[in-house]
């Protein structure tokens, strides 16, 4: 399983991070202002209710009279109706803010994922990304929207109650508020520990998501290698760590909230002690004492809510750090401002400024090394003229895929230049280059949907006629029409309802429909049956006419038809020529041919007899 280690973040509460995050709430500024007003009204009405109780006791209960009670009942009922409307409004507004922010966070995150370079996906587990886009985004949406509700209500409530208490009896009010300093100290103490524990929980949750992803994706491999017990043990280790971190978080929260309750109870006790003496000596009314007791209970309810919000903010900061790390990750390959000004970016292209590529590629003194890795290419030079098909041959790790990845601009050279039609390809936009590129993988990825949808993915404005023409060109039309629903047949998740050969033919049609200038076959025929390979070979002969192509393959039939064969060893071209010339030279290619390809050729001969 993945050994990806997540970055450890600051142990301090980070206001700057929250300011960045609140940018996503700007679109809902009016909603948030309205929500704050509504919550202030909710707090004010809540604070008025003890005053209504004081009036009822001092005016009706103690004097034992009902004079004016009708107006009192109407006023009380009006408050209840107003509060009901306020609650409806707060739930509606908070819900809209929550859903909107979660949507925007996921949209921005997904947009950034579209922009990030291949190297990011090489080193980042899928489970880590999924946790950012799902649980972390949801937690932040909940915290911002409902946290605003509690902060606005709690702050307004405490101000209103404090004002009422001080206006009724300043001395008694100050005595009750004397418990605030120790409450603040307790909050500062616990917030750091709750934050650290929640970070550990979220970090471990990402690793669990990654383990889920690998476990499900590799289920067949796990079963064939009988590794269920080992996988379960590793997964149990991760879940045990998350359980321990979760228990630690719960313990801190469990200690924090009782402290708040205890301090609140002390405030209530002080109100009863001092206020009770005042009632005995006649310095305050009985209704005032009841109102004070009610206020002390009410006052520490928003304190408890604010304490809870602080705890949630600590937990949410861990999610915020992780999601903002994704959103703020800069692509390693990106266009310069000058290129964007002329050609546009991946989402807003300026196609009217795009030149048509002819297909010549030059590698000029190219050097390349992967991040934190050894140098793969050094002073590499290669010229591929327009329309030439080049096969790359060599042992694993020789640099074949690196050359193709550089040609496709999936990576960029660390030194030297890659020229397209005589210009450094960094002088044009990434999207311009990608729009001229067709790529067929050994293990092609199909998206859930129909065959028609998957072929159209290569060119979204393609008509049904163009889709069928592309399928016919790559010899896929025959097997498609034999399926029950033809082009409207579902391919399943990842194309699992089709054979490997069928998936490759469909991915071939998807690449062809965009009419690319450059074509890449990355071992595209190394895992299909002989009949399907012949279909692909026939299609290759037709579609590669006039296109510059790179082929990485193991099968003799694929390489033998190439215009040019390059034998790669340790990032250098050690042999260059066509099939017959290289055989005649009796060099590295000859030995590869005799040791690997001759056996394949013998099997083919036997298969035809």
pLDDT 10s digits, 244-258: 878 887 888 778 778
Q: pLDDT tier at 609 (50, 70, 90 boundaries)?
A: very low
pLDDT at 13 over 80: no
pLDDT at 297 over 90: no
**31-53 pLDDT, tens digit each:** 989 998 999 999 999 999 999 98
Confidence (pTM): 0.71
**pLDDT computed for residue 600 by the predictor:** 60
**pLDDT computed for residue 142 by the predictor:** 87
Other Cβ atoms within 10 Å of 238 Cβ, number: 17
Q: pLDDT tier at 601 (50, 70, 90 boundaries)?
A: low
d(CA 535, CA 525): 10
| Residue 53 φ/ψ, nearest 5 degrees | -65, -40
Q: How far is CA 531 from CA 16, 181, 391, 535, 539, in A?
A: 61, 81, 22, 7, 13
What letter does residue 442 receive in the DSSP assignment? S
Q: pLDDT tier at 241 (50, 70, 90 boundaries)?
A: confident
Which range, of 127-141, 454-468, 576-590, averages the lowest pLDDT? Answer: 127-141
Read off the pLDDT of each residue in 441-448 and give the average, rounded to a whole number: 83
**pLDDT computed for residue 312 by the predictor:** 75
Q: For the chain, list the domains and their CATH numbers.
A: 18-327 (1.20.1560.10), 387-399+438-607 (3.40.50.300)
Q: How many helices (H) and strands (E) does the chain have?
A: 23, 10
**pLDDT computed for residue 34 by the predictor:** 93
Q: Which structure tokens are listed for 346? A: 């991946």
**pLDDT computed for residue 557 by the predictor:** 66
pLDDT at 183 over 80: no
Read off the pLDDT of each residue in 202-222 and give the average, rounded to a whole number: 68
Quick one: CA dihedral 584, 528, 392, 440, positive or negative?
positive
**pLDDT computed for residue 339 by the predictor:** 93
Q: Which structure tokens are listed for 329? A: 């990750």
**pLDDT computed for residue 116 by the predictor:** 87
**pLDDT computed for residue 1 by the predictor:** 44
Q: pLDDT tier at 131 (50, 70, 90 boundaries)?
A: confident
**479-507 pLDDT, tens digit each:** 999 998 999 999 988 888 888 888 888 98
Burial of 266 (0-12, 13-18, 19+ CB in 10 A): middle
Task: For the chain, give the mean pLDDT.
Answer: 84
Higher pLDDT, 233 or 115: 115
Q: How far is CA 152 from CA 156, 317, 591, in A?
A: 6, 20, 77
pLDDT at 181 over 90: no
């Amino acid at each position: 399983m993945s050994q990806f280690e997540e970055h450890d973040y600051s142990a301090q509460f980070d206001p700057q991070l929250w300011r960045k995050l609140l940018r996503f709430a700007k679109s809902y500024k009016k909603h948030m202002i309205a929500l704050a007003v509504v919550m202030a009204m909710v707090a004010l009405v809540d604070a008025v209710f003890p005053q209504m109780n004081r009036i009822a006791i001092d005016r009706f209960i103690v004097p034992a009279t009902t004079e004016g009670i009708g107006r009192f009942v109407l006023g009380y009922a009006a408050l209840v109706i107003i509060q009901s409307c306020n609650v409806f409004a707060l739930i509606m507004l908070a819900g809209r803010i929550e859903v909107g922010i979660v949507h925007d966070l996921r949209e921005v995150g997904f947009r950034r994922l579209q922009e990030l370079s291949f190297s990011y996906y090489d080193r980042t587990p899928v489970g880590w990304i999924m946790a950012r886009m799902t649980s972390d985004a949801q937690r932040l949406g909940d915290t911002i929207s409902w946290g605003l509700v509690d902060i606005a209500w709690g702050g307004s409530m405490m101000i209103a109650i404090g004002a009422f208490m001080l206006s009724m009896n300043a001395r008694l009010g100050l005595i009750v508020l004397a418990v605030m300093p120790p409450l603040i100290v307790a909050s500062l103490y616990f917030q750091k520990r709750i934050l650290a524990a929640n970070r550990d929980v979220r970090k471990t949750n990402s690793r669990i998501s990654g383990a889920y992803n690998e476990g499900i994706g590799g289920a067949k491999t796990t079963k064939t290698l009988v590794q269920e017990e080992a996988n379960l043990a590793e997964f149990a280790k991760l879940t045990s760590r998350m359980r321990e971190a979760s228990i630690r978080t719960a313990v801190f929260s469990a200690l924090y909230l009782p402290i708040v309750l205890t301090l609140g109870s002390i405030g209530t006790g002080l109100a009863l002690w001092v206020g009770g003496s005042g009632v005995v000596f006649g310095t305050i009314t009985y209704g005032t004492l009841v109102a004070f007791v009610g206020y002390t209970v009410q006052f520490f309810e928003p304190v408890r809510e604010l304490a809870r919000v602080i705890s949630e903010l600590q937990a949410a900061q861990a999610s915020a750090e992780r999601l903002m790390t994704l959103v703020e990750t800069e692509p390693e390959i990106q266009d310069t401002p000058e290129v964007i000004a002329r050609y546009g970016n991946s989402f807003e292209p300026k196609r009217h400024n795009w030149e048509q590529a002819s297909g010549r590629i030059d590698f000029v003194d190219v050097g390349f090394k992967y991040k934190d890795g050894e140098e793969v290419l050094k002073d590499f030079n290669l010229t591929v003229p327009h329309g030439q098909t080049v096969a790359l041959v060599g042992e694993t790790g020789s640099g074949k895929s690196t050359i193709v990845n550089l040609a496709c601009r999936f990576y960029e050279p660390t030194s030297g230049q890659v020229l397209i039609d005589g210009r450094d390809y960094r002088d044009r936009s990434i999207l311009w280059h990608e729009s001229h590129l067709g790529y067929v993988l050994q293990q092609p990825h199909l998206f859930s949907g129909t065959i028609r949808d998957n072929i159209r993915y290569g060119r979204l404005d393609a008509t049904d006629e163009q889709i069928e023409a592309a399928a016919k060109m790559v010899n896929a039309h025959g097997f498609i029409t034999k399926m029950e629903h033809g082009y409207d047949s579902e391919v399943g998740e990842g194309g699992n309802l089709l054979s490997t050969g069928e998936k490759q033919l469909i991915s071939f049609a998807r690449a062809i429909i965009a009419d690319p200038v450059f074509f890449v076959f990355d071992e595209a025929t190394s895992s299909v049956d002989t009949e399907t390979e012949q279909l692909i070979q026939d299609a290759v002969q037709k579609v590669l006419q006039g296109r510059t192509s790179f082929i990485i393959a193991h099968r003799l039939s694929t390489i033998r038809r190439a215009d040019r064969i390059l034998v790669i060893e340790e990032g250098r071209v050690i042999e260059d020529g066509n099939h017959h010339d290289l055989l005649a030279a009796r060099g590295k290619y000859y030995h590869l041919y005799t040791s690997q390809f001759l056996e394949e050729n013998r099997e083919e001969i036997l298969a035809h007899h």
